[in-house]
Every structure is written in structure tokens, then in C-alpha cells.
Amino acid sequence: MKRKRILSGMQPSGKLHLGNYFGALKNWVDLQDEFECYFFIADWHALSSLYEGPGRIKDFSFEVAIDWLSAGLDPEKCTMFLQSDIPEHAELHLILSMIVPVPWLERNPTYKEKQDEIKNVDMNSYGFLGYPVLQTADIVLYKADYVPVGIDQAPHLELSREIVRRFNKLYKKVFIEPGAKISDIPKLNGLDGRKMSKTYNNTIFLSDGEKEVGKKVQSMLTDPARARRDDPGNPDVCNLYPFHKIYSPKAMQDEINTDCRTAKIGCGDCKKLLSQTMVEGMRPMMEKRREFLACPDVVKEILHEGTLKARVIAKSTLEQAKQAMKLK
Ligand code: TRP
Ligand code: SF4
């Protein structure tokens, strides 16, 4: 039986952190065994917010590729490429833009949210309004069955399905409606208890080494009500405990859960334990990163191979779309 196809992308806006990993990347790594997967670095999308300093995008894209490979995306199992290496994305975007009513885009909640969120760049561009149209082109070029996305991206995907329906109805059934694949995301906040985000400077990066992880864990907010060592704590409200749930063995989790409530363990010792289990958990990633950093040409070759493979599909779908419209 033919495996179902998955496609997803990530904007290169710098080094990835554990929030990105547990929110998306880990899910991708798991999916590559079961599905035919295409993952791409959305460098054209990144222009929508980085257009004032686009020179950074190239370095960011390389960092993302290294993060992906270190985290376990495997070129033997999935296809990885850079969006701008496949110009068919841009051509299909242009074609789709002719059939998408502007009010559909203005209604998109993420459009307004991002505009409110990003204050240091003018986000009133034509390109940013059309962000979901480019995203639709990305997806439908590969006739993806599913798109693994965070819950915040669900409205984009609904819009993609609407665009597909409109195209198929106007011309001919060329595209398929992609389904969302939303993963369970463990609740993990940043070092200070707010959402993990580069803008808050509260992240642990996938590229952090042993020392950095240790230092960052030491700086983490714990149960704010636990002011003194002999105050009992509550793991349910502690910002650190969810990390134990991910990285520490069950027996350790249970022991901390009990001992914290009776003040038998202090936050300092609890942090030391977490540093150890986290560093152990992240060690395979640290080692792979070292290998890939030592041979950047291998990384470029992986993306090049991915482009060759993906582009065959992209070209064929674009051809079908143009024929359906009698442009060819
Ligand atoms: N919008 C996605 C993000 O910000 C990136 C993206 C671009 C994408 N094109 C896509 C995701 C296609 C899934 C499918 O992370
Ligand atoms: Fe949190 Fe651990 Fe301190 Fe309890 S002992 S409050 S779980 S850091």
C-alpha cells in the first residue's frame, strides 16, 4: 500500500529551541517512519518579517538544517529541502493569488495576531497578507495528505482547504484537501515560566551544550510560593517539574513529587537532578550536531538531493494545474 504523504515547513528565524522541538520537530521525527515525508525550510516566508535584513535568512536556514538533522530527521527516511530552491512554489503562489478573495486573507486570525505581536517591523505588506496563499502552494504542490502543524496554524490549513476547493471547482480536480495533523504537545514553558520564545530570552536551544543547559536549569523559576528551603513546594505549579516529566525516569519523578511536598528535597538539588537527566537526554543530539558541524558540505548535499527529488513532484503538479486552466 502506498504510504500517505506528509509535508511541513518551518520558517528559519534562528536557532531552534526545546519549544520548537516538542511543539513540532519531535513529531516530524516520529512521522518519518510511517509516512512519506517532505520537510522544507520556508525561507521565502521568513522574508515577510525579515525583509529589512534578509541577509540573515541564509545563515538561519543552515542552522535550522543542522538542528533538524541533529534532532533526528534522517535523509534516508524523509526529503528535506529549501523552499527557494524550488521556484515552482512561487509560480503556483502567483496563480493561486488570482483566485483567492482578499477578505479570506483579512479574516485570517493569525494575520491580525502577528501584526499585533510584531511591533518592530511593519507587517502591512502585500506578501504578508498572502502568507497563507504561499503556504497553500507549498502544501498542494506535493499533494500532501496531512500537514503536521501546531494548533495556532489550524486556521491557515482551513484556508488552504478552501483555496483547494475553489481551484478544483473553477477548473478541474488537481489538488487534494490537506488534513491537519495536530500533535499532543507537552506543557513546557520557558525558564521564567512564560511561553518559551526567543523574544523573551527564556529558551533552551537544541544547540546548547552541557554547561549552558546546567546554567539555564539553575536559573529556572520554580514554585514561586517556595521561598525558603523548609517551605513545602508544589510540583503541579512548578515551572521546572514538567521538564522532569519529559527527561527523568518515572521513579525519580515520583520521588520528587513526594519529597517536594514535604520539603524533603530542596529546589537546588531538584535542579541538579534535572540538569543531569536533561544533559543525558540531549546527549545524542549534541553528538550528532558535532558530526554535522564538522562537515557542512554533507548538510548542503542532503538539501541538494532533497531538492532534486521534491522538484520532480512540484513540476509535475504545476504542469497539471496549468493544463487544468488551459494555460498550457
Ligand atoms: N507557517 C509555518 C510556520 O510559521 C511555516 C510554513 C510555511 C508551513 N509553509 C508551510 C508549515 C506549509 C506547514 C506547511 O512555522
Ligand atoms: Fe519544583 Fe523541584 Fe523545587 Fe519542587 S523541589 S518546587 S518540583 S524545583
- Note the maximum CA span of the chain: 77
Q: What spacing in Å lies between the alpha carbon of 150 and ligand 1's midpoint?
A: 10
Q: What letter would DSSP give residue 154?
A: H
For the cut 90, the answer to whether the pLDDT of residue 152 exceeds it is no
275 lines ligand 2 (CB under 6 A): no
Whether residue 114 has pLDDT greater than 90:
no
pLDDT at 124: 93
**Distance of CA 292 to CAs 10, 252, 285, 289, Å?**
20, 33, 11, 5
Q: For residue 1, is pLDDT > 80?
A: no
Q: What pLDDT score does 127 carry?
A: 97
Tell which one of 6, 7, 10, 81 to mutate to probe ligand 1, the residue whose CB is within 8 A of the most ligand atoms: 10
What residue's CA is closest to ligand 2, atom 8? 267
Q: What is the tens place of the pLDDT at every residue in 249-281?
A: 999 999 999 999 999 999 999 999 999 999 999
Cα distance between residue 314 and residue 137, in whole Å: 10
Rounded distance from Cα 190 to ligand 2 centre (Å) = 15
| Region 5-189+296-324: CATH code | 3.40.50.620
Q: What is the mean pLDDT of residues 13-42?
A: 95
Cβ(45) – ligand 1 distance below 6 Å: yes
Please tell me the predicted confidence (pLDDT) of residue 199.
87
> Which of 119 and 207 is assigned the larger pLDDT?
207
Alpha carbon distance 24, 113 (integer Å): 20
Q: How far apart are CA 157 and CA 170, in angstroms?
A: 20
For domain 208-289, the CATH class is mainly alpha
- Which spans in the chain are helix H? 18-20, 26-31, 43-50, 56-71, 88-97, 102-107, 109-117, 126-129, 131-140, 154-170, 210-218, 241-247, 250-261, 267-294, 296-324
CA 73, CA 65: separation in Å to the nearest integer?
9
- 241 touches ligand 2 (CB under 6 Å): yes
For β-strands 146-148 and 179-181, DSSP reports them as parallel
Cα–Cα dist 85/205, whole Å: 27
Distance CA 178, CA 192 (A): 37
Question: Does residue 220 line the site of ligand 2, with CB under 6 A?
Answer: no
Q: What pTM was estimated for this model as a whole?
A: 0.95
Mean pLDDT of 39-53: 97
Q: Which amino acid makes up residue 58?
A: K
C-beta of 222 in contact with ligand 1 (< 6 A): no
User: pLDDT for 177-218, tens place per residue?
Assistant: 999 998 778 788 999 999 999 989 999 999 999 999 999 999
Listed range (155-159, 164-168, 248-252, 320-324) with the worst mean pLDDT:
155-159
Residues of the chain with CATH 1.10.240.10: 208-289
The ranges of the chain annotated as CATH 3.40.50.620 are 5-189+296-324
The CA 273 to ligand 2 mean position distance, Å, reads 11
Strand, helix or coil at 205? strand
Distance 237 CA to ligand 2 centre (A): 9
Look over the chain and give the mean of its residue pLDDT values, rounded to a whole number: 96
- pLDDT at residue 149, rounded to an integer: 84
Q: Is 267 in the pocket of ligand 2 (CB under 6 A)?
A: yes
Active site (catalytic) residues: 114, 195, 198
Q: In what order do the strands lie in the sheet with 179-181?
A: 78-82, 36-41, 5-10, 146-148, 179-181
